[in-house]
Amino acid sequence: MAVTLQQIADKSGVSRGTVDRALNNRGRINPEVAERIKRIAREMGYQPNRAGRALAMSRHSIKIGVILQSIDTPFMQQVKEGAEAAKEEARRMGAEVEIKEIKGIDASGAISYMEELRKNGCNAIALVPSEDELLKATVDTFVREYRIPVVTFNSDIAGSKRLCFIGQDTLQSGRTAAGIMSEIVRPGGKVLVISGHPTNQGHKNRARGFMEELRECRQDVELLDIKYAYDDDWVAEKITEEALKTTKELAGIYLAASGTEGVCKVIEQYGVSGRVKVISNDLTGKNEEYLRKGTIQFLLGQDPYAQGNHSVMILFHKLFDGIEPEKEYNYTEIVIKNKYNI
Protein backbone atom coordinates (compact mmCIF):
# COMPACT_ATOMS: atom_id res chain seq x y z
CA MET A 1 0.00 0.00 0.00
CA ALA A 2 1.32 3.45 -0.94
CA VAL A 3 2.63 5.63 1.90
CA THR A 4 0.54 8.77 2.40
CA LEU A 5 1.57 12.27 3.44
CA GLN A 6 -0.52 11.90 6.58
CA GLN A 7 1.38 8.78 7.59
CA ILE A 8 4.67 10.63 7.15
CA ALA A 9 3.26 13.57 9.14
CA ASP A 10 2.23 11.27 12.01
CA LYS A 11 5.66 9.65 12.06
CA SER A 12 7.45 13.03 11.90
CA GLY A 13 5.26 14.78 14.46
CA VAL A 14 4.36 17.62 12.11
CA SER A 15 1.35 18.66 10.04
CA ARG A 16 0.52 17.27 6.62
CA GLY A 17 1.07 20.72 5.12
CA THR A 18 4.61 20.82 6.54
CA VAL A 19 5.35 17.41 5.00
CA ASP A 20 4.06 18.60 1.63
CA ARG A 21 6.28 21.69 1.71
CA ALA A 22 9.34 19.67 2.73
CA LEU A 23 8.93 17.00 0.06
CA ASN A 24 8.23 19.55 -2.67
CA ASN A 25 10.84 22.12 -1.56
CA ARG A 26 8.09 24.69 -1.31
CA GLY A 27 7.56 27.44 1.23
CA ARG A 28 9.54 28.43 4.31
CA ILE A 29 10.53 25.52 6.52
CA ASN A 30 13.45 24.88 8.86
CA PRO A 31 16.13 23.04 6.80
CA GLU A 32 16.79 20.53 9.59
CA VAL A 33 13.08 19.74 9.88
CA ALA A 34 12.80 19.38 6.09
CA GLU A 35 15.74 16.99 5.97
CA ARG A 36 14.32 14.88 8.82
CA ILE A 37 10.95 14.63 7.03
CA LYS A 38 12.65 13.60 3.78
CA ARG A 39 14.69 10.96 5.63
CA ILE A 40 11.57 9.52 7.28
CA ALA A 41 9.77 9.53 3.91
CA ARG A 42 12.62 7.56 2.33
CA GLU A 43 12.69 5.10 5.21
CA MET A 44 8.93 4.55 4.84
CA GLY A 45 9.29 3.98 1.10
CA TYR A 46 7.32 7.03 -0.02
CA GLN A 47 7.09 7.42 -3.80
CA PRO A 48 5.41 10.56 -5.21
CA ASN A 49 2.97 9.73 -7.97
CA ARG A 50 2.88 12.95 -9.94
CA ALA A 51 1.32 11.31 -12.99
CA GLY A 52 -1.52 9.99 -10.86
CA ARG A 53 -1.98 13.37 -9.25
CA ALA A 54 -2.12 15.05 -12.63
CA LEU A 55 -4.78 12.57 -13.78
CA ALA A 56 -6.81 13.22 -10.67
CA MET A 57 -6.37 16.95 -11.17
CA SER A 58 -7.97 16.78 -14.58
CA ARG A 59 -11.10 15.54 -12.86
CA HIS A 60 -11.06 18.34 -10.29
CA SER A 61 -11.13 21.16 -12.90
CA ILE A 62 -9.16 23.49 -10.65
CA LYS A 63 -8.79 27.06 -11.87
CA ILE A 64 -7.28 29.83 -9.73
CA GLY A 65 -7.61 33.54 -10.48
CA VAL A 66 -4.94 36.06 -9.48
CA ILE A 67 -5.52 39.83 -9.33
CA LEU A 68 -2.46 42.07 -9.10
CA GLN A 69 -2.91 45.77 -8.32
CA SER A 70 -0.17 48.42 -8.75
CA ILE A 71 1.31 46.25 -11.48
CA ASP A 72 3.14 49.30 -12.84
CA THR A 73 5.54 49.31 -9.85
CA PRO A 74 8.88 47.43 -9.98
CA PHE A 75 8.01 45.65 -6.74
CA MET A 76 4.76 44.22 -8.08
CA GLN A 77 6.61 42.94 -11.13
CA GLN A 78 8.64 40.80 -8.72
CA VAL A 79 5.41 39.59 -7.12
CA LYS A 80 4.17 38.68 -10.59
CA GLU A 81 7.27 36.54 -11.18
CA GLY A 82 6.33 34.42 -8.16
CA ALA A 83 2.74 34.09 -9.38
CA GLU A 84 3.93 33.10 -12.86
CA ALA A 85 6.19 30.39 -11.39
CA ALA A 86 3.25 29.03 -9.39
CA LYS A 87 1.12 29.14 -12.53
CA GLU A 88 3.63 26.92 -14.33
CA GLU A 89 3.86 24.50 -11.41
CA ALA A 90 0.07 24.25 -11.20
CA ARG A 91 -0.14 23.78 -14.98
CA ARG A 92 2.13 20.73 -14.76
CA MET A 93 -0.39 19.24 -12.36
CA GLY A 94 -3.35 19.94 -14.64
CA ALA A 95 -4.61 23.11 -12.95
CA GLU A 96 -5.09 26.49 -14.58
CA VAL A 97 -4.10 29.92 -13.25
CA GLU A 98 -5.40 33.13 -14.81
CA ILE A 99 -3.62 36.38 -13.89
CA LYS A 100 -5.24 39.82 -14.16
CA GLU A 101 -3.30 43.09 -13.83
CA ILE A 102 -4.41 46.54 -12.67
CA LYS A 103 -2.40 49.74 -12.91
CA GLY A 104 -2.52 51.66 -9.65
CA ILE A 105 -5.13 50.91 -6.99
CA ASP A 106 -8.64 50.39 -8.31
CA ALA A 107 -11.17 48.63 -6.07
CA SER A 108 -13.91 48.69 -8.70
CA GLY A 109 -11.51 47.16 -11.23
CA ALA A 110 -10.64 44.41 -8.76
CA ILE A 111 -14.32 43.66 -8.21
CA SER A 112 -14.93 43.50 -11.97
CA TYR A 113 -12.07 41.07 -12.39
CA MET A 114 -13.34 38.92 -9.51
CA GLU A 115 -16.71 38.59 -11.24
CA GLU A 116 -15.05 37.90 -14.58
CA LEU A 117 -12.86 35.19 -13.09
CA ARG A 118 -15.85 33.59 -11.35
CA LYS A 119 -17.77 33.49 -14.62
CA ASN A 120 -14.69 32.00 -16.31
CA GLY A 121 -14.86 29.05 -13.90
CA CYS A 122 -12.29 30.06 -11.28
CA ASN A 123 -12.92 28.29 -7.98
CA ALA A 124 -10.36 30.27 -5.93
CA ILE A 125 -9.04 33.83 -5.99
CA ALA A 126 -5.70 35.32 -4.90
CA LEU A 127 -6.03 39.07 -4.55
CA VAL A 128 -3.97 42.19 -3.82
CA PRO A 129 -6.78 44.25 -2.25
CA SER A 130 -7.34 47.82 -1.14
CA GLU A 131 -9.43 49.07 1.76
CA ASP A 132 -12.87 49.43 0.25
CA GLU A 133 -16.19 48.40 1.76
CA LEU A 134 -17.66 47.14 -1.51
CA LEU A 135 -14.55 45.08 -2.23
CA LYS A 136 -14.70 43.64 1.28
CA ALA A 137 -18.38 42.77 0.78
CA THR A 138 -17.52 41.13 -2.56
CA VAL A 139 -14.84 38.97 -0.91
CA ASP A 140 -17.35 37.91 1.75
CA THR A 141 -19.94 37.07 -0.93
CA PHE A 142 -17.45 34.92 -2.84
CA VAL A 143 -16.56 32.99 0.32
CA ARG A 144 -20.04 32.59 1.82
CA GLU A 145 -22.34 32.32 -1.19
CA TYR A 146 -20.14 31.04 -4.01
CA ARG A 147 -17.86 28.89 -1.80
CA ILE A 148 -14.85 30.41 -3.56
CA PRO A 149 -11.92 30.80 -1.14
CA VAL A 150 -10.01 34.08 -1.33
CA VAL A 151 -6.41 34.65 -0.25
CA THR A 152 -5.04 38.19 0.12
CA PHE A 153 -1.37 38.96 -0.40
CA ASN A 154 0.93 41.98 -0.17
CA SER A 155 -1.94 43.97 1.37
CA ASP A 156 -4.78 42.68 3.55
CA ILE A 157 -8.44 43.64 3.82
CA ALA A 158 -9.38 43.92 7.49
CA GLY A 159 -12.41 42.06 8.80
CA SER A 160 -13.13 40.14 5.60
CA LYS A 161 -13.82 36.41 5.26
CA ARG A 162 -10.66 35.79 3.29
CA LEU A 163 -8.85 32.51 3.99
CA CYS A 164 -5.46 33.96 4.97
CA PHE A 165 -2.92 36.68 4.23
CA ILE A 166 0.58 36.34 2.77
CA GLY A 167 2.97 39.26 3.03
CA GLN A 168 4.99 41.49 5.27
CA ASP A 169 3.93 42.52 8.77
CA THR A 170 3.76 46.10 7.57
CA LEU A 171 3.12 47.66 10.97
CA GLN A 172 6.27 45.99 12.29
CA SER A 173 8.13 47.02 9.14
CA GLY A 174 7.28 50.66 9.84
CA ARG A 175 8.45 50.29 13.42
CA THR A 176 11.68 48.71 12.21
CA ALA A 177 12.30 51.65 9.87
CA ALA A 178 11.64 54.08 12.74
CA GLY A 179 14.11 52.25 14.96
CA ILE A 180 16.78 52.63 12.27
CA MET A 181 15.91 56.28 11.62
CA SER A 182 16.13 57.03 15.34
CA GLU A 183 19.76 55.89 15.27
CA ILE A 184 20.88 57.96 12.29
CA VAL A 185 18.82 61.18 12.19
CA ARG A 186 20.41 64.29 13.69
CA PRO A 187 19.01 65.92 16.86
CA GLY A 188 16.37 68.58 16.30
CA GLY A 189 15.77 67.53 12.71
CA LYS A 190 12.50 67.09 10.90
CA VAL A 191 11.38 63.87 9.22
CA LEU A 192 9.02 63.55 6.26
CA VAL A 193 6.87 60.45 5.68
CA ILE A 194 5.80 59.78 2.07
CA SER A 195 3.19 57.04 1.75
CA GLY A 196 1.51 55.47 -1.28
CA HIS A 197 -2.25 55.10 -1.41
CA PRO A 198 -4.53 56.09 1.51
CA THR A 199 -6.66 52.98 0.78
CA ASN A 200 -3.77 50.51 0.87
CA GLN A 201 -3.67 48.87 4.29
CA GLY A 202 0.00 47.94 3.98
CA HIS A 203 1.03 51.51 3.17
CA LYS A 204 -1.09 52.86 6.03
CA ASN A 205 0.31 50.37 8.52
CA ARG A 206 3.92 51.12 7.59
CA ALA A 207 3.38 54.86 7.96
CA ARG A 208 1.51 54.46 11.25
CA GLY A 209 4.09 52.08 12.70
CA PHE A 210 6.91 54.41 11.70
CA MET A 211 5.33 57.54 13.12
CA GLU A 212 4.26 55.94 16.41
CA GLU A 213 7.66 54.39 17.02
CA LEU A 214 9.71 57.44 16.03
CA ARG A 215 7.67 59.64 18.38
CA GLU A 216 8.43 57.15 21.13
CA CYS A 217 12.14 56.83 20.32
CA ARG A 218 13.08 60.38 19.44
CA GLN A 219 11.00 63.10 21.07
CA ASP A 220 13.57 65.65 19.88
CA VAL A 221 12.67 64.93 16.24
CA GLU A 222 9.66 66.54 14.57
CA LEU A 223 7.45 64.57 12.21
CA LEU A 224 6.04 66.58 9.30
CA ASP A 225 2.54 65.98 7.97
CA ILE A 226 2.31 62.73 5.99
CA LYS A 227 2.21 63.09 2.20
CA TYR A 228 0.82 60.66 -0.40
CA ALA A 229 2.64 59.99 -3.68
CA TYR A 230 0.25 57.28 -5.00
CA ASP A 231 3.20 55.08 -6.07
CA ASP A 232 4.20 57.81 -8.55
CA ASP A 233 7.85 58.89 -8.81
CA TRP A 234 6.93 62.28 -10.25
CA VAL A 235 4.60 63.05 -7.34
CA ALA A 236 7.22 61.86 -4.83
CA GLU A 237 9.78 64.09 -6.58
CA LYS A 238 7.57 67.17 -6.22
CA ILE A 239 6.80 66.40 -2.56
CA THR A 240 10.51 66.11 -1.79
CA GLU A 241 11.42 69.26 -3.68
CA GLU A 242 8.77 71.24 -1.81
CA ALA A 243 9.98 69.86 1.52
CA LEU A 244 13.59 70.82 0.79
CA LYS A 245 12.57 74.33 -0.25
CA THR A 246 10.40 75.01 2.79
CA THR A 247 12.10 72.99 5.56
CA LYS A 248 15.75 73.86 6.22
CA GLU A 249 15.88 71.38 9.10
CA LEU A 250 14.79 68.43 6.94
CA ALA A 251 16.87 65.54 8.26
CA GLY A 252 15.12 62.37 7.12
CA ILE A 253 12.62 60.90 4.67
CA TYR A 254 10.81 57.61 5.07
CA LEU A 255 8.99 56.10 2.09
CA ALA A 256 6.22 53.71 3.05
CA ALA A 257 5.58 52.72 -0.59
CA SER A 258 6.96 53.35 -4.10
CA GLY A 259 8.35 56.69 -5.26
CA THR A 260 11.97 56.18 -4.25
CA GLU A 261 13.43 57.18 -7.60
CA GLY A 262 11.65 60.54 -7.52
CA VAL A 263 12.87 61.24 -3.98
CA CYS A 264 16.48 60.28 -4.76
CA LYS A 265 16.53 62.38 -7.93
CA VAL A 266 15.82 65.51 -5.89
CA ILE A 267 18.15 64.52 -3.05
CA GLU A 268 21.02 64.28 -5.54
CA GLN A 269 20.07 67.47 -7.38
CA TYR A 270 20.12 69.46 -4.14
CA GLY A 271 23.41 67.88 -3.06
CA VAL A 272 22.07 66.61 0.28
CA SER A 273 22.86 62.90 -0.12
CA GLY A 274 23.84 61.54 3.28
CA ARG A 275 22.76 64.69 5.11
CA VAL A 276 19.07 63.92 4.58
CA LYS A 277 18.73 60.29 5.66
CA VAL A 278 16.48 58.18 3.42
CA ILE A 279 14.89 54.85 4.35
CA SER A 280 12.72 53.08 1.80
CA ASN A 281 11.24 49.69 0.94
CA ASP A 282 11.82 46.96 -1.62
CA LEU A 283 14.98 45.48 -3.10
CA THR A 284 14.44 46.52 -6.71
CA GLY A 285 17.26 47.28 -9.13
CA LYS A 286 17.01 51.08 -9.08
CA ASN A 287 16.57 51.19 -5.30
CA GLU A 288 19.67 49.05 -4.83
CA GLU A 289 21.63 51.40 -7.12
CA TYR A 290 20.71 54.38 -4.95
CA LEU A 291 21.60 52.37 -1.85
CA ARG A 292 25.10 51.63 -3.18
CA LYS A 293 25.64 55.31 -4.00
CA GLY A 294 24.62 56.39 -0.50
CA THR A 295 21.55 58.37 -1.57
CA ILE A 296 19.49 55.83 0.41
CA GLN A 297 20.81 54.70 3.79
CA PHE A 298 18.62 51.61 4.32
CA LEU A 299 16.20 49.44 2.34
CA LEU A 300 13.68 47.04 3.89
CA GLY A 301 12.82 44.00 1.76
CA GLN A 302 9.76 41.75 2.00
CA ASP A 303 10.22 38.76 -0.38
CA PRO A 304 7.84 39.68 -3.24
CA TYR A 305 8.42 36.41 -5.10
CA ALA A 306 7.14 34.39 -2.14
CA GLN A 307 4.04 36.56 -1.87
CA GLY A 308 3.00 35.88 -5.45
CA ASN A 309 4.03 32.23 -5.37
CA HIS A 310 2.67 31.13 -2.00
CA SER A 311 -0.72 32.79 -2.46
CA VAL A 312 -1.39 30.61 -5.51
CA MET A 313 0.07 27.42 -4.03
CA ILE A 314 -1.88 27.73 -0.77
CA LEU A 315 -5.09 27.80 -2.82
CA PHE A 316 -3.86 24.94 -5.01
CA HIS A 317 -3.23 22.70 -2.01
CA LYS A 318 -6.54 23.63 -0.42
CA LEU A 319 -8.49 22.72 -3.56
CA PHE A 320 -6.57 19.59 -4.54
CA ASP A 321 -5.23 18.16 -1.28
CA GLY A 322 -7.73 19.61 1.15
CA ILE A 323 -4.85 21.20 3.09
CA GLU A 324 -5.83 24.31 5.00
CA PRO A 325 -3.20 27.02 5.62
CA GLU A 326 -1.52 26.51 8.97
CA LYS A 327 -1.72 30.20 9.87
CA GLU A 328 -4.06 33.08 9.14
CA TYR A 329 -1.15 35.50 8.83
CA ASN A 330 1.78 34.18 6.80
CA TYR A 331 4.37 36.91 7.26
CA THR A 332 7.41 37.17 5.04
CA GLU A 333 10.75 38.21 6.52
CA ILE A 334 11.67 41.88 7.07
CA VAL A 335 15.07 42.10 5.37
CA ILE A 336 17.33 45.07 6.24
CA LYS A 337 19.97 46.13 3.71
CA ASN A 338 22.55 48.92 3.57
CA LYS A 339 25.33 49.57 1.06
CA TYR A 340 27.64 47.16 2.86
CA ASN A 341 25.47 44.04 2.60
CA ILE A 342 23.48 44.58 -0.59
Query: pLDDT tens, 2-57?
Result: 788 888 989 899 988 888 888 876 666 787 888 899 889 888 888 766 555 555 55
Tally of residues, the chain: 342
Provide the strand spans (E) within the chain.
63-68, 96-101, 124-127, 150-153, 164-168, 190-195, 222-223, 227-228, 250-255, 277-281, 298-301, 329-332, 335-337
Domains 50-167+304-330 and 170-301 share a fold: yes
**CA distance between the termini of the chain:** 50
pTM: 0.80
pLDDT of residue 210: 98
Q: Which fold has domain 50-167+304-330?
A: Rossmann fold (3.40.50)
Q: How far is Cα 49 from Cα 2, in angstroms, rounded to an integer?
A: 10
Mean pLDDT over the full length of the chain = 92
How far does CA 296 lie from the centroid of its chain?
Answer: 22
Q: In terms of Cα–Cα distance, which of 94, 20, 15, 1 is closest to 317? A: 20
How far does CA 33 lie from the centroid of its chain?
Answer: 25
Tell me the per-residue pLDDT of 296-311, one tens digit each, with 9 for 90 and over.
999 999 999 999 999 9
CATH value of 170-301 in 3.40.50.720, 3.40.50.2300, 1.10.540.10, 1.25.40.420: 3.40.50.2300
Residue percentage of the chain with pLDDT more than 90: 78
Whether residue 110 is predicted with pLDDT greater than 90 in this model: the reply is yes
Other Cβ atoms within 10 Å of 77 Cβ, number: 16
Lowest mean pLDDT among 193-207, 226-240, 320-334: 320-334
Q: How far is Cα 147 from Cα 77, in angstroms, rounded to an integer?
A: 30
Other Cβ atoms within 10 Å of 51 Cβ, number: 8
List b or e across 87-122, with b for residues whose CB sees 16 or more CB atoms inside 10 angstroms: bebbeebbbbbbbbbbebbbbebbbebbeebbeeeb
Domain range summary for the chain, segments of one domain joined by + = 5-44, 50-167+304-330, 170-301
